[in-house]
Structure formats: C-alpha cells, structure tokens
Chain A
C-alpha cells in the first residue's frame, strides 16, 4: 500500500507540468527489479603450521593466521565450514624414509577450529555452521582460529595438505 501511494505521488509530480500544456502529457513507469545477492570474503587463503618441538610437546601447532569471515547479502543467510576431505593428503619428504613414511591417515579432525572464543572443534566434511541466520546487511566476522594436533608416535615427517571451505548460502 505504501509503495502504491509513493508511486501515485511520483506520477502526480510528473503530470503537473502537463496540466499547463494539455497536449504534451506523457507517463513514465519506473521499474526496478532487485535480485538476491550474496558476498563472501575471507582474510586468509592459507594457514601455515610449524611442527616444531614446542608444538609436539603441547600436542598441537597453532595456525599462522586466523580467518575473519566477511559476509553480506540482501537476504538472510548462513555460513558454514567444512574440510574438502576426511583425511590430510600426505607427501613424503625427500629423501623418503622407508621406515617412517608420511602418515597417510591423518584425520581432518586433527585440524581444529575456534569461532571467536568458543570451543575448539575438529573439522570434517560435514558442514558446521559458523554464522547462523544472519540478517540481510553487511557483517564482519566471526574470526576463526586454527590448530593442528601433533603426536610424536603418529605424525611422521612430511607435507600435509587439506582444504577448508567456507560456504555462504541464502536461508
């Protein structure tokens, strides 16, 4: 109803000059179609971990960076986090040890994340919500930190690769 009233007022203003020149009137219809839109931006494209003595002693290595998740949209939306695989992909160091090859079954859940100051949780291929039901608008955050669990007995030398994916979707 408000929209109809506004359009009527707009049409009246347009029509006013035409009253003085009755043969030159014209009508204008303005149409605006706004589609749904979502935007996502993360502050880090990679996170490095150093498997040094201190990390093994504490049981984990802290990530070199946190991720701040920026998200915008003109619809209510959510953001989730998941790993791209259930295990890390292991690459043997050079030269490769015949007795201690890179661990091929290091679970993705050894990589844990923390949203804000929340609990540390292992990642998995099942999406975990990090932003739930965000209203339309522009949002910065949350910030997500990372750790990787390390154990002398299991985590042999090598390069370990895993993808994390933040997914934004309209509600």
Chain B
C-alpha cells in the first residue's frame, strides 16, 4: 500500500513536471524604429493548451560584454526610451492558439535609445513560489543620421585537441545599434582558406563592447594557421582582424 501511494505520488510529480505548463511565442523580437517609423505591431500567440493571462509593459535592458542581459525599470539607464516607448494594450487573456496584436509606439527623440517591451505570463495571484516567463522585444529608437561604426579590437585563437577557440572582441564606436554577423575563416599562412564558420547575428549597442568565444574544428594537419573573423555590421565596410595559432603534431606540446 505504501509502495502504491509512493508510486502514485511519483506519478503525479512526473505529470506535473512533464509538458510545458505555459508556452507562448512573440514576433518580431527586434524592433528598430528608424526612418520616421513610429509604430509597429508585435504578435503574441498562446501556444499552451490552456488559457494564459498576459501582461504587456515596457522596461529597460542592458547587455554586457558576454552578452548577458540585465533588466531594469523603464528610465533607469542613460539611453532609455522612457517617455518615448509605449505598448497597448497592457494585458490580455488568450485562449489556446489565440493571437493578439500589440501596438508598440516610439516617439521621436533627440538621441538613439533602447528599451524593451515585455510579454509576461504567470499565475498572477498565486501564493507560494510562482514561475513566470516572459519574452523581451528589443526596441531601438534610432535617430536620423545615427552612425554605424565598429571595429574588431582583439582576436585570440588557441588550439586544443580537435578544437580551436577563437575570441573576438568588437567595439561599437558609433551611435547606431548594430547586429554584426559574418564568418570566422581558418586560413593557412599562404592565405588559402582551410575552413569557414558562420557567426550568427548578435546585438552590439552603441558605446558597448562584446566578447565572443567561438569554437571551430582544428585543421587536421599540424602547422601554423590564422583565425580571421570577418563581420558585416550593416555599413559599406566589413570589419575584421586576425590571430595566429599552431596545431601541434600529435604527441608534441601544444602552443599558440
């Protein structure tokens, strides 16, 4: 009997922990307002099999060199879109599969700003420890004449075993939020390309730095090589850099 009760409890636990209790999607999640645009539509869809209660609100975010986000009340940081960014409605209850369009507005301003529109659901009145979830839509108010200017300020490459770890540091010197993307090429010293690896788009806020750490397969043949990141920042110019590394012969000491 005890075994049955224990098993039943375990089953209940398993059932509770099984399927997603709440899930939803949001699109788009990047909203640049530029060229006179002052309004955009964001669509929320309840992907759960039960009704979900949502709240929609604005707030601030920052992103550090490693890419980690921090979240704050609206108006907290120096480039906040406070007083410019708004979202309506402020909440909704959506049936399973139901969509709701949100209107996001960005008033013109004197400087480029960034903040977030948050779509959050949870058991709002629950006692105890509740687990909520939210999606942040990044909203950028980009002023006319904002300058896109960035550079690769450091590249490091180290081979270890079958992998080369490539560190790339990129600074945004301009006033435009950027989404660099591109490749890291592994080249032989004669300039020929041994392999090429995509760098997915990533956010780079004005006046900010990002440090990427990418792992790419090491060349099969021992010798000296170059790691060459080449990034498109959305301007006429590509940016890049290079760092040398050595793939040691089997049994030899590893070195840079």
Contacts and interface: CB of A to CB of B under 8 A. Distances in A.
B245 interface: no
Contacts of B68: 78, 80, 127, 129, 132
B2 interface: no
Contact of A167 (B18, B66, B136): B136
B71 A41 contact: no
B134 interface: yes
B21 A82 contact: no
A65 to B, nearest CB: 5
B238 to A, nearest CB: 16
Given A64-B13, A127-B70, A129-B68, A42 B131 contact: yes
Interface string B13-30: 100111111111111111
A36 B179 CA distance: 13
Contacts, number: 170
Interface stretch (A4-12, A18-26, A45-53, A95-103): A45-53
Given A45-B22, A63-B129, A65-B16, A170 B70 contact: no
Interface residues of A, number: 54
B90 interface: no
A169 B69 contact: yes
Interface string A160-171: 111111111111
A37 B16 contact: no
B256 to A, nearest CB: 24
A41 B131 CA distance: 11
Contact of A159 (B13, B23, B127, B138): B127
A60 interface: no
B162 interface: no
Contact of B27 (A36, A159, A162): A36
Contacts of A82: 71
Nearest to A143: B17
B120 interface: yes
Contacts of B61: 169
21 contacts: A36-B27, A37-B25, A37-B26, A42-B20, A47-B129, A64-B16, A65-B17, A68-B17, A72-B25, A76-B200, A148-B129, A161-B129, A161-B130, A164-B130, A165-B134, A166-B131, A168-B133, A169-B136, A170-B203, A171-B67, A171-B202
Interface of B: 13, 16-30, 47-48, 61, 66-71, 116, 118, 120, 122-123, 126-136, 138, 200-203
